[in-house]
Amino acid sequence: MSELGHNSNNPAVGGIAADRLRAIIDRVERLEEERKALSGDIKDIFTEAKSAGFDVKVLRQIIRIRKQEPAEVEEQENLLDIYRRALGM
């Protein structure tokens, strides 16, 4: 019996190009490590902001809003205003 995927003389095993598969997996793993590092950096920035007196929850809301289209933000703000008035706030 041969070992599937362990024969370096046969780059394709079961119709799968082993080198291409390995390259894809390596790239994903590298990007996951980068994402982990970036998440740590973002956490550090929020810690810095908090120590400077900023409200991190509000900063996160602003960042989320800035990702949206202006018309979408305006529509949400209008609905929020309508809902507040309906509740007597």
**In whole angstroms, what is the distance from residue 84 CA to residue 89 CA?**
5
The pLDDT value recorded for residue 5 is 47
**In whole angstroms, what is the distance from residue 23 CA to residue 20 CA?**
5
- Mean pLDDT throughout 7-31? 84
Give the confidence band of 2 by pLDDT, cuts at 50, 70, 90. Answer: very low
Average pLDDT score, the chain: 90
pLDDT at 16 over 90: no
- Mean pLDDT throughout 43-70? 97
pLDDT at 68 over 50: yes
The pLDDT value recorded for residue 45 is 98
Longest CA pairwise span in the chain (Å): 77
